[in-house]
A and B are shown apart, each in its own frame.
Chain A
Amino acid sequence: MIKKDTSKFEINKEIKELVVTRIEAQTPQNLKLSIGSCGNLTKDEVIGHIEKGDLIGRQVVNMHLSFLKAVASGKFTKAISSV
């Protein structure tokens, strides 16, 4: 069966707030996120995972931070202007 979460990584409180604020502002109610084996998650369910700091929550936070880092470094802009 699918493995359980064993990671010890915890989400910093300020980062958690930043990501939750972005999700609340930018996700319409009709959109659901498919990630891992937890089903398609509503906005409120995604936020719940972040608040709990579980594996799904950490994966969503990592996605946001990776994106922000790519934008800040110029990597994102360079990539999307290459096509």
Chain B
Amino acid sequence: MNSSILITLPRYDDATEYLSQFSIVIEKEAVNKNISLKKLEENKVNRKEFEKVINKLNPKMIIFNGHGSEESIYGHKGESIVEFGSNEKLLKERIVYARSCNVATILGRKCMADCFIGYNLPFMFYTDSNWSTKPLNDNTARLFLEPSNLVPLSLIKGNSTFEAHEHSKNQILRNINKVLASNKEESFILAEALWNNYAGQELIGNSSAKL
């Protein structure tokens, strides 16, 4: 296994479009650190392609963007690309970050990853419809997606999984303080959703693992 990264970037609905666009910074940081990063994009995010790339590249870290359930992570148009009881062994001994709903509940616990960071609750974020065609200008979505980006970014910078997890969760708390201090109509609704992601983000396995 080498210190390369595989990232999935499905883009078939609003949520996956946002996740993929906010992942650009992860790609840039990997380039800055001379770490090989393989992108699995759009309709290539299917089980066959995913398994092929894993077997060929043997990456140390996998970053999943997309929808999820307790037992599965989904790719393009909801195709299950990793599923407990089927191909979860592909995650074994790797560092995994899954920006997907609920996957830490069962898949994350059972897949035998070296370290799995994910969510045991639905991963939520708010978007501002005024910026739906330019997600990276959407500062409401940024409140949610920047802290989640800190997991892979911290790992790429050489931090441990524990440090990456903590950096991310602390940034969520700072963003909660920020929205509450802004005293806007939406302050509490944003704080609630941020709290949901804070409470649901879980590290399973080796907390001292590094890329």
Contact = CB atoms under 8 A, between A and B. Distances in A.
B177 A80 contact: yes
Interface in A34-81: 34-37, 39-40, 42, 59, 62-64, 66-67, 70, 76, 79-80
Given A63-B192, A67-B192, A79-B198, A33 B126 contact: yes
Contact of B186 (A3, A31, A64, A83): A31
Interface centre among A28, A63, A76 (most CB of B within 10 A): A63
B194 to A, nearest CB: 9
B206 interface: no
Contacts of A79: 173, 198
Given A26-B186, A79-B173, A82-B173, A31 B126 contact: yes
Contacts, number: 100
A1 B15 contact: no
Contacts of A11: none
B195 A2 contact: no
B124 A33 contact: yes
Given A22-B189, A63-B192, 5 more contacts: A28-B186, A31-B126, A37-B13, A39-B13, A66-B195
Interface of B: 13-15, 18, 67, 69, 71-72, 74, 78-80, 101, 121-122, 124-130, 132, 140, 170, 173-174, 176-177, 180, 185-189, 191-193, 195-196, 198-199
13 contacts: A1-B78, A3-B71, A3-B72, A27-B189, A31-B126, A31-B140, A35-B101, A39-B13, A39-B14, A66-B195, A66-B196, A66-B199, A70-B195
